[in-house]
Amino acid sequence: MANAARMTPPLPEDPDADNKRDVELMLEVKGRNSHEAFAELMERHQNAVVGTVAKMLGNSIEAEDLAQQVFLRLWKSRARYEPSAKFTTFLFTITRNLVFNETRRRSRRKEQSLDQQLDEHQLEPAGNPNHRPDRENLNAELRSAVDRAIEDLPETQRMAVVLRRYQDMPYEEIARVLELSLPAVKSHLFRARAALRESLAKYMES
């Protein structure tokens, strides 16, 4: 009787494969000024950078422009790149610096874009007070409320929440991006979540 063929178990996926590819590409950019490698890096990370900037600024149109500045700064920083941490740590540190500069510039204008959004929201017709909006409208309203509540957070708390919630970034990497200790990051997130719960209490009750 022939021996049953042994099934070779599939090799486990390398959880660090994406970072290895990023590092490989960035080293090509650094060593050979490779525009092809840089274009691939942009393709791999542009959506994440644009999404993060949009959540931080509350303006998707301006996010496109600032994201372009992030990648321009990445290109200009290629000579000092060292693969001592994850590539995304390097990339999002650049993103943090540019976003914080922009939010501080805006602070003199009292976050005009956010004020405009709030004014538009307040000017929407109230409609029939007895009307119960359908689930889709409630979900859209809740998403809008969450975005506004996040935009109201202090910049460091806001960045920590965005990186954790929307980029699923580990606490340790968030700490490196924000140049904070791990306990400080957890403290910022704790305070941010408490503020968000308070801001969104009426939605949670309903």
CATH number (domain holding residue 147)? 1.10.10.10
- Residue 156 neighbours by CB under 8 Å, 6+ apart: 178, 180, 188
pLDDT at 90 over 60: yes
pLDDT, position 117: 52
- Structural tokens at position 93: 């540190």
11 within a domain of the structure (yes/no):
no
- Residue 41 neighbours by CB under 8 Å, 6+ apart: 22, 25, 26, 29, 74
pLDDT, position 200: 84
8 within a domain of the structure (yes/no):
no
128 within a domain of the structure (yes/no):
no
129 within a domain of the structure (yes/no):
no
Kindly report the average pLDDT of the chain as a whole number: 83
111 within a domain of the structure (yes/no):
yes
pLDDT, position 125: 42
> Residue 92's pLDDT band (boundaries 50, 70, 90)?
very high
51 within a domain of the structure (yes/no):
yes
85 within a domain of the structure (yes/no):
yes
pLDDT at 173 over 90: yes
pLDDT tens, 129-143?
454 456 566 567 777
> Residue 12's pLDDT band (boundaries 50, 70, 90)?
low
For residues 34 and 6, the model is more confident at 34
* Number of domains, the chain: 1
150 within a domain of the structure (yes/no):
yes
pLDDT at 204 over 80: no
Instruction: Identify the domain containing residue 197 by its residue range.
Output: 18-122+136-205
Q: In this structure, are residues 196 and 149 in contact, taking their beta carbons and an 8 Å threshold? A: yes
